Amino acid sequence: MKIAIASGKGGTGKTSLATNLAAFIAEKEEVILVDLDVEEPNSGLFVQGDLITEEIQYKQIPEWKQESCTLCNLCQQNCNFNAVIQLGAHIMVFPQLCHSCFACSELCPTGSLPMVSDRIGKISSFKKGNILFFESRLDIGQEQAVPLIAQTNERIDSIDHISMKIFDAPPGTSCPVIEATKNVDLIILVTEPTPFGLNDLQLAVDTMDAMNKTYCVVINRYESGFDALEEYCIKNSIPVVAKIPNMREIASLYSNGKLFYHIPEVKNALEDIVQFIRNTEL
């Protein structure tokens, strides 16, 4: 069972839910927690453990071989991303713009643009009790999160002795979120009871519908005063699985990097979520 915790809006509590849910499940069984918010990975601030592995991640980019190049310009014409440009008698490669499609390289008549590895980030794994935690971290200055997310997913797919896998997804609705959620069984959308929360939830729901995914909603920092959020969920038959109350105690524990699944209100919410996951599994 692969579950992604996502949200349109940032700061609604994705990381809080992902880490506390993993710790709650880990009281009874082994669980994998994966931080796919590669631009700003935060789960590791809450789930420390013993470092097991560190793997540098690369993407493939072309490297120009001057000796064999005939300056036919085909590579520049074949690159739709302006990542390969001919300047006089030189071919320039711009790694930030390269999508690793291999077209320039494989269509080069003289094989003068072999693909080579270019560092984009790092995947680290940690073990703490029943939690096997993976953190995927994009190098600062790298603009494309998608290749690293895709590689992290492949890495996690290769592990089959633990079935419960929880993914902390990046915020938003664009390509990194698609990559992080496209292969999971269930997406939990975390939102908050404000017009911002509702607006961004609607965007996230549209995205999930476009991908034809199964999803449900958890309302974080819940308090009364904004009914439109729940009205929207009811009207669109989106299950609201749990509400986590707005409590300063939670905010305070969070600010210190502490988990809070032991707080009774939170524990109840997590039990409801786990029950929903089990039902979805069937």
Partner 1 sequence: MKEIVVISGKGGTGKTSITASFANLGAENIVVADCDVDAADMHLLLKPDYQKRETFYSGLLAEIDAKKCIECNACFDVCRFDAIDKKPSHYAVIKLNCEGCGYCEKVCPSEAIKMKDNNVGEWFISKTKLNNFLVHAKLGIGAENSGKLVAKVKNEAKALAKKNHVDYVLVDGSPGIGCPVVSSLSGADYVVFVTEPTVTGIHDLKRVHELVKKFHIASGCIINKCDLNEQVSQEIKDYLKEENIAHIADFPYDNAFSKAIIQGKTMIEYENGKFKELLIDSWRNVLNKLK
145 SS3 class: coil
Token pair belonging to 166: 């929880």
**Only segment of 22-30, 153-161, 164-172, 235-243 that touches partner 1 (CB under 8 A):** 164-172
Q: How many CA atoms lie within 13 A of 18 on its CB side?
A: 35
Token pair belonging to 255: 């600010």
Q: How many CA atoms lie within 13 A of 242 on its CB side?
A: 22
68 in contact with partner 1 (CB under 8 A) = no
124 in contact with partner 1 (CB under 8 A) = no
173 in contact with partner 1 (CB under 8 A) = yes
195 SS3 class: helix
**C-beta of 162: minimal distance to partner 1 in Å?**
25
- What b/e string do you get for 134-145 counting C-beta neighbours within 10 Å, with b at 16 or more? bbbbbeeebebb
Nearer to partner 1, 88 or 141 (CB): 141
Q: How many residues bind partner 1, per CB under 8 A?
A: 60
Q: Contact 73/206 with Cβ under 8 angstroms?
A: no
Dihedral of CA 149/19/5/164: which sign?
A: positive
Nearer to partner 1, 80 or 237 (CB): 80
Nearer to partner 1, 66 or 210 (CB): 210
172 in contact with partner 1 (CB under 8 A) = yes
Q: 185-204: which residues touch partner 1 (CB under 8 A)?
A: 192, 194-196, 199-200, 203
Q: 1-60: which residues touch partner 1 (CB under 8 A)?
A: 8-12, 15, 39-40, 42, 45-46
Strand residues in 67-225 grouped as ranges (E):
84-87, 90-93, 115-128, 131-138, 165-168, 186-191, 215-222
Give me the residues that bind partner 1 (CB under 8 A), please: 8-12, 15, 39-40, 42, 45-46, 78, 80-81, 99-103, 106-107, 138, 140-145, 170-178, 182, 192, 194-196, 199-200, 203, 206-207, 210-211, 221, 225-226, 246, 248, 251-252, 254-257
